[in-house]
Chain A
Amino acid sequence: MIRHLWPLLAGFTLWALAFILLYALQYLGCYFGWAPAAHRTALVVGYVMSLAALAGALLVQLALLRRRGSAATSLDRIGIGATIAALAATAVTFGPTLLASACI
């Protein structure tokens, strides 16, 4: 079942992993008292890695769609839409990690 659904699940699974990664980085930096510049750098790197992972997933899905040609299913096309939505959601919802206060 998952084998067929992965195009739909890939994008928002990566979004969820990015959420855990960025939340963990924020918490650990505050807990261990990282220097603000180092903490911000870690968050920015985590944010960029999250975007890169989603962009990579999107490229893989597009390549598979092209390779399958007429054999591509509607699930493949919907999956690409879901990954684009996940990429946009990652850019917007995690964007505040670039600027917002991390620790108080």
Chain B
Amino acid sequence: MSTLDPAGPAAADIATLWWVMFWGALVLFALVMALLVLSFLRPAMIASIRPIHWIIGGGLIMPVPILIALLMAALLLGEQLLPKPGGVQPMRVEAHASRWQWQFSYPETPGAATTEILHLPAGEPVDIVVTAADVIHAFWVPRLGGKIDAIPGHTNVIRLQADEPGVYRGICAEYCGEGHETMGFVVEAHSPADYATAIGGAQ
């Protein structure tokens, strides 16, 4: 279930962003700690820095480039996660949330439906069309991509891809009532031949 063990391109982008932020935060932490140590070991050196230089250096020069770099990284990586229209459209699967279970249907295979098991073909993107019946839920498969809300009366779409066949756990990531913690599901990613068999069995 770890987001740091990505199994698809969307999750890999998110993990990359996390690592960029982690190492950036670590560098800043080390810098602050070094200044703290210097304030004990070389207090005269620290005292020689004028307050205006602390404000400009620590309040503007240091954080602004870092925040802009993080904003750019988040935007560039975030754009890659979006299910944009145009081009070859991937297969669509519908995920419908209700208290407290997930139901999945497969428009390309009429009549096919599963509860708490989502069948996906491995190695290709799939658009998950997320809706809700009652309250706000959230669809999340940590090893495949980010979260997306399931909102009554609204349709959200998230594009996911499992690079390899396997089983990936998913959860409801928005508190939705007393059964929230039981509202999990499993993604079974199949090779193309196995996917047809799995969907055939779900009809």
Q: Does B79 contact A101, Cβ atoms closer than 8 Å?
A: yes
The residue that A92 contacts in the complex, of B71, B79, B82, B157, with Cβ under 8 A, is: B71
- Interface residues of B, count at CB 8 A: 10
In the bound complex, residues from chain A placing their C-beta under 8 Å from that of B68 are 92
B residues bordering A, Cβ < 8 Å? Answer: 68, 71, 75, 78-79, 82-85, 157
Q: Quick one: CB contact mask for A72-99 with B, threshold 8 Å, 1 for yes?
A: 0000000000000000000011001000
- In angstroms, Cα B71 to Cα A100, docked, is 12
Query: Cα distance A20–B33 when bound, in Å?
Result: 39
Contact A104 B75 (CB under 8 A): no
Chain B residue numbers with a CB within 8 Å of A100 are 75, 78-79
Could you show 11 A-B contacts with beta carbons less than 8 Å apart? A92-B71, A93-B71, A96-B71, A96-B75, A100-B78, A100-B79, A101-B82, A101-B84, A104-B82, A104-B83, A104-B157
Interchain CB contact under 8 A, A104 and B84: yes
Total A-B pairs in contact (CB under 8 Å)?
16
Q: Which residue of B lies closest to A99 (CB)?
A: B75
Chain A positions within 8 Å of B, measured between CB atoms, are 92-93, 96, 100-101, 104
A100 to B78 CA separation, bound complex (whole angstroms): 9
Which residue on A lies nearest to B74, using beta carbons? A96
In the complex, what residue of chain B is closest to A100 when comparing beta carbons?
B75
Q: Which residues of B contact A96 (CB under 8 A)?
A: 71, 75
A81 CB → nearest B CB, Å: 11
Most central of A92, A96, A101, A104 by chain B CB within 10 Å = A104
The docked-state distance in angstroms from the alpha carbon of A101 to that of B71 is 15
B130 to A: closest C-beta gap in Å: 12
**A92, A93, A101: which has the most chain B beta carbons within 10 Å?**
A101
Residue of B nearest to A96 (CB): B75
Cα distance A104–B84 when bound, in Å? 6
Identity of the chain A residue whose Cβ is nearest the Cβ of B71 in the assembled complex:
A92
Please, which residue of chain A has its CB at the minimum distance from the CB of B127? A104
Known interface pairs A101-B79, A101-B82, A104-B83; 13 further A-B residue pairs with C-beta atoms within 8 A, sorted by A's residue number: A92-B68, A92-B71, A93-B71, A96-B71, A96-B75, A100-B75, A100-B78, A100-B79, A101-B84, A104-B82, A104-B84, A104-B85, A104-B157
B67 to A, closest residue via Cβ: A92
Cα(A93)–Cα(B72), bound, Å: 11
CA distance A100 to B79 in the complex (A): 7
A42 to chain B minimum Cβ distance, whole angstroms, is 19
Give CA–CA (A101, B84) in the complex, Å: 8
CA distance A99 to B120 in the complex (A): 32
For A92, list chain B residues within 8 Å (CB): 68, 71
Contact partners of A93 in chain B: CB under 8 A? 71
